[in-house]
């Protein structure tokens, strides 16, 4: 159907078609700066186009194409960076014929029009170029956000058409309108408002899950929602356990509970500059990074160092639950005890040293 | 979003403040008391960083306020302390057994096909996991919205990461200091003996 149109007016058609992707480019450039303006002079063409789709009439298509050609003639004056685009478009004349139809396809969102769209999208999928994809995606995304904002009341078909009529072109006002529709319905998918809203919600959720996947280490290998949720739960639990572990450690190491600022600035600088746990020779394994942290068990030591001057007792080593009580954790415990003993020893020696001198 | 150094600094300041408030209460007490104090002040500091904008921070503050009202009030002085503490979180009561039974009856009436069953099982699995996530994140029971839940987990994970980073660096610095003094003293001891 469309190829038949090429031969009689091939040159002029290509001209008109060239303006369309250029228009799309223009839209890309101007999308941030626009002011939504009324466009009353659009309506006759749009009505024509809508009628065309309503009837699937060939004559109407021809007339609209001629219209576009006229518009294209008017607009070529105004295009600045048009030359390369035009060159690029010229090379695509074979495919360009589909473009206006595509942009028209963007405009409609009727269930019966879905079939027309699906027809066009089939064709289009063969020849789609990147710019077009970009603009369409941008339009679609913007349209989706708009549609989310505007609520569900705009989703009915009649209202959609009236919206497109009233609504603004996102582009320089010189360019003639292709009002874009909010959501492009894909082939075989329902277009009633519930499923649209659900689809928008699902896409929001999947976007957020992607952020989570970036944040949680090791989440990229697992696919599917359930696996990533599992990893997230494990990660949060391990972080919480680490906080407890570290607070316990701090309580042991720092009996005065002072994190005094002057002291800290020096230590902080040292600690931050390395950005990794400080490797101390005798106890390398206490500083475990998150992925190495044993997820299946939670070892918590309950030491009570009663008084440094008197005999110190290391009372109990208790575990909250130890399903897989591996050698690794035993080793960790041992090292922990060693460090505590070392601390006590050092303080004792210090006092001894003081008493001697 | 990774924890930034600005966040770390703020957290550290608030945590120090909290610990200073706590110190007169806990001098010369046992290790477990001290650990509790540290953890508590760290949690409250972390939650107050968000200034009540996120659900989990409010829930966390409420949880700690039930135990140690005094400290929390002091720490949050100036940042809508009263509103945060007295705010009641919405209660969602659901009797799980009744809901489960009614769901079973409903499912029995429906006619199923294989693909539907598979999809239903997948959905159930995902529901279980989200329930598990709700149990882990503080205040999760009050987030019925999935989108909200994921947003909150994101925020919570970032805050936890800052907390862990700061604590770890302090612990490392303290340990490094101790280790150095221990080595030094060892050398001293040997020189004394000689």
Q: How far is CA A246 from the centre of its chain?
A: 34
A270: its two tokens = 């040292």
Longest dimension (CA), chain A: 111
Distance in angstroms (rounded) separating the CA atoms of residues B73 and B48: 11
Q: Which one of A201, A236, A251 has the shortest CB-CB distance to B157?
A: A236
Query: Which pLDDT tens digit goes with each residue over A177-232?
Result: 455 445 566 676 777 888 899 899 989 988 888 888 888 888 888 777 888 889 99
Q: B-chain residues within 8 Å CB-CB of A272?
A: 5, 169
Query: What are A189-196's contacts with CB under 8 Å, separation 24+?
Result: A190/A111, A191/A109, A191/A110, A191/A111, A191/A114, A192/A155, A193/A152, A193/A155, A193/A156, A196/A147, A196/A155
Contact A236 B136 (CB under 8 A): yes
B92: its two tokens = 């969602």
* pLDDT-derived band at A242, boundaries 50, 70, 90: very high
Q: Is the dihedral of CA A95, A96, A100, A102 positive or negative?
A: positive
Cβ–Cβ pairs < 8 A, chains A and B: 174
Sequential pLDDT tens for chain B (194 residues): 677 888 888 888 888 877 777 777 766 677 777 788 788 888 888 887 877 778 888 788 777 777 766 666 666 665 555 555 555 555 556 677 888 888 888 877 776 777 888 888 888 898 888 888 888 888 888 778 888 888 888 889 999 999 999 889 888 888 888 888 899 999 988 888 86
Q: A302 pairs with which residues across the strands? A: A316
Q: How far is CA A53 from the centre of its chain?
A: 35
| Neighbour-count burial for A278-306, b at 16+ CB within 10 Å, e otherwise | bebeebeebbeeeeeebeebbbebebebe
A10: phi then psi, degrees, rounded to nearest 5: -60, -45
> Is a pLDDT exceeding 70 seen at residue A285?
no
- Which residues between 263 and 302 in chain A have a beta carbon less than 8 angstroms from any beta carbon of chain B? 264, 267-268, 270-272, 277-278, 280, 282, 287, 302
Q: How far is CA A235 from the centre of its chain?
A: 21
Contact B176 A280 (CB under 8 A): yes
Q: Is the dihedral of CA B47, B48, B50, B55 positive or negative?
A: positive
**Residue in A with minimal Cα distance to B128:** A226
Residue A235, chain B, CB below 8 Å: the answer is yes
Distance in angstroms (rounded) separating the CA atoms of residues A52 and A59: 9
Of B120, B119, B151, B121, whose CA–CA distance to B133 is shortest? Answer: B151
Q: What is the CA radius of gyration of chain A?
A: 34
CA distance A148 to chain B (A): 15
Q: A261 versus B43: which is more confidently predicted?
A: B43
- Which residues between 96 and 155 in chain B have a beta carbon less than 8 angstroms from any beta carbon of chain A? 122, 125-126, 129-130, 132-133, 136-137, 146-147, 150-151, 153-154
């Amino acid at each position: 159907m469309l190829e038949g149109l090429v031969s009689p007016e091939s040159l002029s058609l290509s001209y008109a078609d060239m303006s369309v992707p250029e228009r799309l480019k223009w839209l890309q450039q101007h999308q941030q700066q626009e002011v939504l303006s009324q466009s009353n002079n659009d309506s006759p063409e749009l009505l024509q186009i809508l009628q065309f789709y309503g009837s699937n009439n060939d004559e109407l298509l021809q007339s609209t194409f001629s219209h576009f050609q006229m518009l294209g003639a008017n607009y070529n004056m105004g295009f600045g960076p048009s030359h390369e685009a035009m060159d690029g478009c010229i090379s695509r004349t074979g495919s360009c014929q589909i473009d206006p139809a595509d942009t028209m396809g963007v405009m409609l969102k009727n269930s019966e029009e879905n079939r027309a769209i699906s027809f066009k999208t089939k064709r289009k999928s063969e020849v789609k170029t990147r710019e077009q994809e970009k603009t369409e995606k941008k339009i679609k995304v913007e349209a989706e956000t708009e549609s989310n904002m505007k609520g569900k009341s705009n989703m009915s078909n009649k209202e959609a058409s009236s919206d497109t009529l009233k609504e603004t072109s996102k582009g320089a006002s010189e360019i003639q309108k292709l009002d874009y529709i909010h959501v492009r319905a894909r082939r075989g998918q329902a277009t009633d408002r519930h499923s649209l809203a659900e689809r928008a919600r699902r896409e929001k959720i999947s976007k957020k899950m992607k952020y989570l996947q970036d944040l949680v280490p090791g989440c990229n290998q697992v696919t599917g929602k359930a696996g990533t949720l599992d990893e997230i739960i494990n990660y949060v639990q391990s972080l919480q356990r680490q906080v407890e572990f570290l607070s316990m450690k701090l309580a042991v190491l720092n009996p005065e509970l002072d994190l005094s600022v002057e002291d800290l600035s020096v230590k902080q600088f040292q600690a931050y500059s390395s950005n990794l746990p400080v490797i101390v020779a005798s106890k390398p394994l206490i500083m475990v990074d998150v992925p190495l942290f044993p997820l299946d068990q939670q070892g918590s030591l309950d030491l009570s160092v009663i008084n440094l001057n008197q005999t110190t007792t290391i009372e109990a080593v208790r575990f909250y639950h130890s399903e897989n009580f591996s050698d690794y954790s035993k080793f960790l415990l041992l090292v922990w005890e060693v460090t505590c003993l070392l601390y006590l020893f050092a303080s004792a020696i210090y006092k001894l040293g003081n008493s001697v001198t | 979003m990774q924890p930034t150094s600005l966040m770390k600094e703020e957290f550290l300041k608030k945590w120090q403040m909290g610990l200073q408030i706590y110190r007169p209460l806990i001098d010369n007490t046992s290790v477990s008391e001290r650990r509790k104090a540290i953890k508590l002040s760290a949690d409250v500091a972390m939650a107050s960083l968000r200034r009540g904008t996120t659900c989990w921070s409010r829930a966390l503050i409420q949880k700690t306020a039930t135990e140690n009202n005094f400290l929390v009030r002091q720490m949050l002085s100036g940042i809508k302390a009263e509103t945060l503490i007295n705010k009641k979180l919405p209660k969602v009561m659901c009797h799980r057994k009744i809901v489960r039974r009614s769901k079973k009856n409903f499912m029995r009436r429906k006619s199923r096909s294989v693909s539907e069953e598979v999809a239903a099982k997948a959905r159930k699995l995902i529901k279980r996991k989200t329930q598990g996530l709700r149990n882990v994140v503080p205040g999760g029971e009050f987030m019925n919205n999935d989108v909200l839940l994921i947003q909150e987990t994101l925020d919570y994970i970032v805050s936890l990461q800052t907390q862990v980073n700061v604590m770890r660096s302090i612990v490392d610095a303290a340990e490094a200091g101790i280790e150095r003094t221990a080595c030094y003293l060892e050398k001293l001891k040997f020189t004394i003996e000689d």
